[in-house]
Copies of this chain bind each other. A is one copy, B any other.
Amino acid sequence: MILGLDEAIVRRAVSAARPDRAPVSADETAEVFARAAWSGIAEPGDGVAGTLVAALGAAGALAAVNEEHDPAGLAHEVGEATGEELTRESMRAAVERWRPRLVASDALRFLTSAGARGAALLVPDDPEWPAGFGDLGPHRPAALWCLGNAALLASPLPIALVGARAATGYGEHVCAEASTGLVDRGFAIVSGAAYGIDGMAHRAALASGGATVAFLAGGVDRFYPSGHDALLTRIAQAGAVVSELPCGSSPTRWRFLQRNRLIAAASLATVVVEAGLRSGSLNTAGHAASLGRPLGAVPGPVTSAASAGCHRLLREFDAVCVTNADEMAELVLGPQEPLVEAASRQEPEATRVLDAMSSRPRSVDDIARAAGLSVASVRSALGVLELEGLVSETPTGWRRP
């Protein structure tokens, strides 16, 4: 029994949204069902819910809240189980904010609408669950709802490409090049399906036949923005469209901010391609930084307000300046061997000897005087330069060819 529902009803609802999974025990099914319920009860990022679920399991937490346990006792129980300190007051406030949404039929509806839409419910034990979500601690989502190829969430090289909706032609061009280049290097492109940079990141990945994952701030049955209906349909076919909110949920400002934490946590690095000072992608960058994930920012003209947010990330948030797909890949894969430029290897004395020479032959003494070097040093430098084919000796002296 969970939320007063019959076991068979729960099992049928869960299998609607997990049609291809092997059958599991009644307890496990109840746990999955409870996670579906929690995904609609607690707002994204609710740390008290995350702590309670971690302590009692999703079903246990649901039962405790439903059965109106004393919040003080509940807080104490959580402390015993997890070592997390929750105050009686925060638990009481949390139970009060969850209770208006404790409706058994809601969870049933989430699962059946997902099933009808072809969206799958994922829980933390599933192999597709993004490994990076572990770093979210109590703020990790209770569940994920996924349209498309859920296996892409377990891609070995996920990288976030995000940026402003108000992108310029420059930003979109750089984004397309970056996305294509990263796909060529085996990366999966994670973004938020917004207009501008996000959309271009997905679009270029799809065009290159690459893997791409869009995290939405509302349910996966409500593509947002509506102008990206066709793009999101293609992502759902060739990639994955994912949300922590159940079907029927609308995006809100709060949910956009919390969605950004999932983009950052699901990715090994986050790159802000183009962003003004008020772009929401700076919030994603902040999540990446606070998760300790590498953060890259693409510079642009200082005369472009659309790049001012990227420049701020470079100035104030220690973002790495990235200018192409190689440098973005390096955020994840570490530095590659630097190129040693021939010019920098040249000895100072050789430079000075070459400076002192021309196509007219000169004696070693003349060269020494002009270069401000001893005759011996000039002889030695000339020897090396001759080997490199940069100077030659003539009957009347040394010259540059």
- A42 located at the interface, meaning its Cβ lies under 8 Å from any Cβ of chain B in the complex: yes
Contacts of A324 in B (CB 8 A): 302
* Stretch from A59-67, A111-119, A151-159, A346-354 that touches the partner: A346-354
Contacts of A170 in B (CB 8 A): 301, 303
Given B257, B311, B376, which contacts A323 in the complex, CB threshold below 8 Å? B311
Is the Cβ of B298 less than 8 Å from the Cβ of A302? yes
Contacts of A348 in B (CB 8 A): 254
User: 20 extra interchain contacts, Cβ-Cβ under 8 A, other than A93-B374, A170-B303, A300-B300?
Assistant: A43-B371, A43-B373, A96-B375, A97-B374, A100-B365, A100-B369, A252-B355, A253-B351, A253-B355, A257-B351, A278-B341, A298-B302, A299-B299, A299-B300, A299-B314, A300-B302, A311-B323, A314-B314, A315-B320, A315-B321
Chain B proximity mask over A303-325: 1 for CB below 8 Å, otherwise 0: 10001100100111000111110
Which residue, A254, A372, A377, has most C-beta atoms of chain B within 10 A?
A372
DSSP class of A's interface residues: helix, strand, loop or mixed? Answer: helix
Identify 30 residue pairs between A and B in the complex whose beta-carbon atoms are under 8 Å apart, listed by A's number.
A43-B371, A46-B372, A93-B374, A93-B376, A93-B377, A94-B374, A96-B377, A100-B368, A101-B369, A101-B372, A170-B301, A170-B303, A174-B302, A174-B303, A252-B356, A253-B351, A254-B352, A254-B355, A254-B371, A255-B355, A257-B351, A278-B343, A299-B307, A299-B314, A300-B300, A311-B321, A314-B321, A315-B320, A315-B327, A321-B321
A377 and B314 in contact (CB under 8 A), knowing A299-B299, A355-B253?
no
- A228 located at the interface, meaning its Cβ lies under 8 Å from any Cβ of chain B in the complex: no
Is the Cβ of B174 less than 8 Å from the Cβ of A372? no
CB distance from A267 to the nearest CB of B (A): 20
Q: Which of A92-109 contact B (CB under 8 A)?
A: 93-94, 96-101
CB distance from A260 to the nearest CB of B (A): 14
Contacts of A341 in B (CB 8 A): 278
Cα-based distance from A374 to B65 in the complex (angstroms):
14
Which residue, A96, A299, A301, A303, has most C-beta atoms of chain B within 10 A?
A299
Contacts of A365 in B (CB 8 A): 100
Is the Cβ of A43 less than 8 Å from the Cβ of B376? no
CB distance from A8 to the nearest CB of B (A): 29
Contacts of A374 in B (CB 8 A): 93-94, 96-97, 99
Chain B proximity mask over A190-225: 1 for CB below 8 Å, otherwise 0: 000000000000000000000000000000000000
Cα-based distance from A394 to B351 in the complex (angstroms):
83
Is the Cβ of A42 less than 8 Å from the Cβ of B351? no
CB distance from A325 to the nearest CB of B (A): 11
CB distance from A68 to the nearest CB of B (A): 14
- A360 located at the interface, meaning its Cβ lies under 8 Å from any Cβ of chain B in the complex: no
A301 and B302 in contact (CB under 8 A), knowing A321-B315, A351-B253, A351-B254?
no
Which residue, A46, A300, A320, A365, has most C-beta atoms of chain B within 10 A?
A300
CB distance from A71 to the nearest CB of B (A): 11
CB distance from A322 to the nearest CB of B (A): 8
- A69 located at the interface, meaning its Cβ lies under 8 Å from any Cβ of chain B in the complex: no
Is the Cβ of B303 less than 8 Å from the Cβ of A173? yes
Q: Which residue of B lies closest to A254 (CB)?
A: B352
Cα-based distance from A344 to B323 in the complex (angstroms):
29
Is the Cβ of B96 less than 8 Å from the Cβ of A376? yes
CB distance from A236 to the nearest CB of B (A): 26
Is the Cβ of A97 less than 8 Å from the Cβ of B298? no
Cα-based distance from A223 to B32 in the complex (angstroms):
80
